[in-house]
Amino acid sequence: MTVLVTGASGLLGGAVARVLAARGDDVRTLQRRPSGVPGARDVAGSVTDAAAVAGALDGVDAVVHLAARVSLAGPREEFDAVNIGGTTTLLDAAERAGVRRFVQVSSPSVAHGGSSLVGVGAEPADPAHARGDYARTKAAAELLALDRDRAADGGLAVVAVRPHLVWGPGDTQLVERVLDRASRGRLPLLDQGAALIDTTYVDNAADGIVAALDRADAPEVHGNAYVLTNGEPRTVADLLAGICRAGGVRPPAWRVPARLARAAGGVVEAVWRLRPGTDEPPMTRFLAEQLSTAHWFDQRATRADLRWTPAVTLDEGFERLAAHYGGARA
* Number of residues that make up the chain: 330
Q: Are strands 26-31 and 41-44 parallel, antiparallel or unpaired?
A: parallel
pLDDT at res. 58? 94
Residues 6 or more apart from 76 whose CB is under 8 A from it? 133
Helix (H, G, I), strand (E, B) or coil at 10: coil
For residues 48 and 53, give the distance between their C-alpha atoms in angstroms, rounded to a whole number. 8
Name the active-site residue from 134, 201, 226, 325.
134
pLDDT at res. 270? 58
Contact present, 176 and 122 (Cβ < 8 Å): no
The candidate with the shortest Cα–Cα distance to 106, out of 233, 228, 204, is 228
Q: What is the rounded average pLDDT for all residues in the chain?
A: 89
pLDDT at res. 131? 82
The candidate with the shortest Cα–Cα distance to 56, out of 104, 3, 17, is 3
For residues 289 and 113, give the distance between their C-alpha atoms in angstroms, rounded to a whole number. 10
pLDDT at res. 63? 98
Residues 6 or more apart from 278 whose CB is under 8 A from it? none
The values of phi and psi at residue 14, to 5°, are -65, -40
- pTM, two decimals, is 0.92
Q: Give the residue ranges of the chain where pLDDT is below 50.
A: 328-330
- Dihedral angle sign, alpha carbons of residues 75, 81, 82, 88: positive
pLDDT at res. 330? 41
For residues 42 and 37, give the distance between their C-alpha atoms in angstroms, rounded to a whole number. 9
Alpha-carbon distance values, 42 to 33, 37, 61, 282 (Å): 9, 9, 16, 34
DSSP character string of 51-101: HHHHHHTTT-SEEEE------SSS-HHHHIIIIIIIHHHHHHHHHHHT--E
The CATH T-level fold of domain 2-164+200-229+298-311 is: Rossmann fold (3.40.50)
The candidate with the shortest Cα–Cα distance to 56, out of 136, 2, 128, is 2
Contact present, 62 and 177 (Cβ < 8 Å): no
Q: Does the annotation mark 325 as catalytic?
A: no
Q: Which residues pair with 158 in a beta bridge?
A: 102
Give ∠ CA 262-67-265 in degrees, rounded to 5.
10
pLDDT at res. 261? 59
Residues 6 or more apart from 267 whose CB is under 8 A from it? none
